[in-house]
Structure 1
C-alpha cells in the first residue's frame, strides 16, 4: 500500500502531491514542504490523519 497527500485537499492552493510507500517518509517530506513553501507546520499525527492509503 502507498500513502498519498496533497495540498489542495488541505485547502491550500498548491499543486504539491506526494505518494510514497512509507508513511514516516510521507510525514517527513510533507513537514519539509510545509515549512519551506508555506511557512507552516503540522505534527506527524496531523499529517498522517490527513493522508489517504491508496
Structure 2
C-alpha cells in the first residue's frame, strides 16, 4: 500500500524537485496533487485526503 502525498510550495522549482525525489525513491509514496499556496493546499487536502502533506 502506498501512502498518498500532496506537495505544497509557492515555488514551482521546489515542487518539481520534491516530486522528482519522491518519484525516483523506492518509498511507497504516490503523489496525488500539488498546491502553490496554503489556501490551495487546504482545499485540495479536504478533497484528496492525502496521508502526507508536504
Q: TM-score, normalised by structure 2?
A: 0.42
Looking at both structures, which has the greater relative contact order when contacts are Cα pairs under 8 Å and sequence separation is at least 6?
2
More strand by proportion, 1 or 2? 2
Structure showing greater Rg: 2
More helix by proportion, 1 or 2? 1
